[in-house]
Chain A
Amino acid sequence: MSATPTATAKPARSPGERPSFLDPAALPFGFCPGCGHGRILEALDQALVRLGRDPQRVVIVTDIGCVGLSDRYFRTNSFHGLHGRSVTYATGIKLADPDLTVVVLMGDGGAGIGGHHLINAARRNVGVTLLVFNNLNFGMTGGQHSVTTPAGGRTSTTPGGNLERPLDLCATVAANGAGWVGRTTVFDRALPERIFEALTHPGFALLDIWELCTAYYVPNNRFSKAALEQTLSELQMPVGVLVGGSGGDGQGGTGRTGRQEYAAALRQAAQEARGQAGEQARPQAGDAAGEPERDGRNGRDAAALPRARRPAPLEPRYAASLRGRLGLVVAGAAGQKVRSSVGLVGRAAVLSGLWATQRDDYPVTVMSGHSVSELVLDTAPVEYTGISSPEVLVLLAPEGLKQVKRWLTSPGGAGAARIYVEAALLDQIPEAARRRVHVLDTRPLRSRIGAKNTALAALAAVIRQEGWLPLEALEAAAALDPRPELRAQNLGAIAAGCELALE
């Protein structure tokens, strides 16, 4: 944003006595002589007047560039944000208050830097109306080329002629689900009508308005109205309503795709979620009941909010035998339910009045590789969550064993005090560590409880042997799972583990 364009010599048409959203005190427009921006803003004003909404229910979101000066002329809500991001603020406003009329004014520069947001707003069909003030170059910063500069176009950054193909904004958003798409020029007498159509479309609407940048693109390219129309023709970019026009399949208010406007869809989904949860909703802004009451605390009081679905607290009701702190490391592989099984031990510890922390380590490929969980149990709240050397190490798979080798082979005897190892891994345990080893063999259990439940069975066996807490606590933790199938699997695994022999 370097310079502010100086006031034009040609005064804009005064809105006079007719109803208008334009602020007479802010007029005339400050755009360059011959620039089309003022004409588009007048057309927008006429469309807004015809729409007849309360100005408080209209928001004009402006992007950066000369177009970003537009909000000052309107007596509506306005939001002037960052370059290319205007669609994101408009989306947030629309989602917060779905009944607002939200208009985005953006240049071709903003459509370039923020192109990702255009595509995604179209894809979501969020109900904002986007007017692109497309003058084929960056006006405010001195006539650099933009994503819509025609091939061959001379700009301050393409002095030899533009080598890039211009972006077809309309085709781009149309291909990605925009409900209403139109292209026109600032010379179109029906411009107010086109803008009105875009505004009344409930979903995402984009109107690509080609115009002349008299400061840069016109002098640099001997450009004119005729050349502009010729360029459109050569590029085979048609003007008119391209998607969702009246008389087409846009009738019925949901646009060509028949999709619901996104803010409305989101609101409906939330209401359904609340219905399923049987919870009372807070009033939504824009609901038929009207605005939520707003007092000095913005109408919200945390204590008065509906409670989200939360698990019932765990009431310690078992007696732990563990005294002091204990570090348990369980090293297995993906698919063994290591993390959730250790989580059950953690909950069992809480049910036994102990304090616990659980840290997990696994690769980003969650369905392959190692899965290692570290559990600290203590009779006092756990501060440091790390384990320098575990009291108990449980080895369930070669992938996990590889991750925790340091606790088998520490030269200073600082390795794990007690090691429980699957029989199949025994030959991988160094001789020096063997005297600390208990062997467990879950292989015979696989057909009965399933391979994915053997980690929990092994942990039940370890707890039985170690006696930190009663197995009833582990069963109680498993019984708390609201999912019947998992609950049955886990209880079965614990029962099987209780009978598992340890050598």
Chain B
Amino acid sequence: MGREFITGAEAIVRGAIDAGCDFFAGYPITPATPILLGMMRELPRAGGVAIQGEDEIASIGFCIGAAMAGRRALTATSGPGISLYSENLGLAVMAEVPLVVVDVQRMGPATGGATTVAQGDVQFVRWGTSGGYSVIALAPTNAAECYRLTMKAFDLAERFRTPVFVLTDKEVALTQETVDAGDFVPEPVRGRRTAAPEAEFVPYRFEQLSDVPAAAPIGGPHLVRVNTSTHDERGFLTKDPAKVDRLNRHLAAKVEAFAEEIALAEADLQPEARTLVIAYGITARAMRGAVREARRRGAAVSALTPYTLWPVPERLIGQAALGVERVVVAELNRGQYLREVGRAVLRAACSVGVRPPAVEGLFRVDGETISPAEILDAILREGELRA
């Protein structure tokens, strides 16, 4: 089997094209620019449209318009650009627009460090627009996963008609690495559920709160009414409390009810483990080496890599944490996912009536990655205490 030497950004481009992406708009920003360049180069050849917008707001606006005209749309940016996407992300939630957004995280706040790695956007993508809503975010740890999870992001965006984030970082996106060519095999991507051409079409009709309305492309057989204001099932602005209530509950339920289906994680568990380490993105790679070394030295330790960060894979985290005395969450921020892990672990422990493990964070916000040695230290510190 052949291999490739490829960056995460290139793998994202490839994953998008193999997922049937046929519209891209973006604006240059380090470290997400290689995705813009790749899409501008490759997408027209694959029959799609790629455009550099005049700014980030225009870029995501183009994507939203194209998505509602039936395209599978992608945009890619970093912290400052995600900040400018904020209002339109709310539109994409409210108007039920399928859209994949790549956030190549760099050091923030503000312009921060353009070429400096960070994982500081974890809570921002979750709560980055007004009103409160549910979001899906996937975090790859290497180039092969960039490919696979970008395809998955399109599948989920189309399935749930909602923005889906591929939350990566400068290191994963820009590092070239060896990948088995066999890891670049396209997987089926579901399209959005479309309304039958002959049937009556009601743009925002759903029976159960968690149902996703059938879609029809603007310009297709049905008249389509897209509305970013609170709307009734026909897409007309409404302030009717019953309708507004049902709409808001629906927007949350259509994601939250499927949290189990969306949850992806890699669990490497040991039954006797006292410590569970949790890390995602670039930090998970350091964790794997540290855990292997700790085991070589005789420690029993478990590791969990969540690929789905939002909705939080609570059941998977809870299961992994049952029986351990301590959970260590390693991340390149000051504990953004630690708080989610803490909740999940507490809930899991309460549900079976056991004492919850201690949950602690291992953070770095100096622009360097967390090394395996640091994580090993955290694991063995516990081992020594026990011994």
Contacts and interface: CB of A to CB of B under 8 A. Distances in A.
A359 interface: yes
Interface string A127-156: 000000000000000000000000000000
A350 B2 CA distance: 9
Contact of A284 (B18, B47, B228): B47
Contacts of B45: 270, 273-274, 277, 279, 306, 308-309
B70 interface: yes
B376 to A, nearest CB: 11
Contacts of A311: 4
B191 A300 contact: yes
B221 A56 contact: yes
Among B18, B60, B219, the most chain A Cβ lie within 10 Å of the Cβ of B219
Contact of B191 (A298, A314, A346): A298
B58 A117 contact: yes
B225 to A, nearest CB: 5
A172 to B, nearest CB: 14
A426 B46 CA distance: 52
Contact of B225 (A78, A350, A355): A78
Contacts of A61: 65
B189 A302 contact: yes
Nearest to B158: A298
Interface in A327-376: 343, 346-347, 349-350, 354-361, 364
B5 A57 contact: no
B123 interface: no
A184 interface: no
A386 B369 contact: yes
A80 interface: yes
B220 to A, nearest CB: 7
Contacts of A69: 237
Interface in B215-229: 217-229
A384 B371 contact: yes
A297 B187 CA distance: 13
B22 interface: yes
A301 B187 CA distance: 9
Contact of A303 (B22, B25, B186): B186
A309 B42 CA distance: 7
B355 interface: no
Nearest to A275: B45
B280 interface: no
Contact of B2 (A59, A313, A346): A313
A385 B69 CA distance: 42
Given A80-B228, A296-B191, A298-B191, A72 B66 contact: no
A306 B47 contact: yes
A56 to B, nearest CB: 6
B118 interface: no
Contacts of A88: 53, 57-58, 60-62, 64-65
A56 B223 contact: yes
A79 B220 contact: no
Interface stretch (A90-98, A393-401, A438-446): A90-98
Interface residues of B, number: 92
Nearest to B176: A358
Contacts of A89: 61-62, 64-65, 68
A306 B192 contact: no
B178 A382 contact: yes
Contacts of A77: 218-219, 223-225
Contacts of B132: none
Nearest to B42: A308
Interface string A271-283: 0011001010111
Interface in B253-286: 282, 285-286
A270 B23 CA distance: 12
A305 B57 contact: no
B72 A270 contact: no
Interface in B227-248: 227-229, 235-237, 239
Interface in A68-92: 69, 71-72, 75-82, 85, 87-92
A100 interface: yes
Contacts of A300: 20, 22, 72, 189, 191
A80 B368 CA distance: 44
14 contacts: A78-B235, A80-B237, A93-B65, A95-B51, A100-B219, A269-B44, A274-B44, A274-B47, A294-B217, A314-B5, A382-B177, A383-B286, A384-B285, A385-B171
Interface of A: 1, 4, 55-57, 59, 61, 69, 71-72, 75-82, 85, 87-97, 100, 116-117, 119-120, 266-267, 269-270, 273-274, 277, 279, 281-286, 291, 294-303, 305-306, 308-316, 343, 346-347, 349-350, 354-361, 364, 381-386, 388
Given A56-B220, A89-B64, A316-B3, 7 more contacts: A77-B223, A96-B23, A96-B65, A270-B47, A305-B186, A386-B369, A388-B373
The 8 closest A-B pairs by CB, nearest first: A92-B65, A313-B2, A88-B61, A298-B191, A282-B47, A270-B44, A96-B69, A89-B65
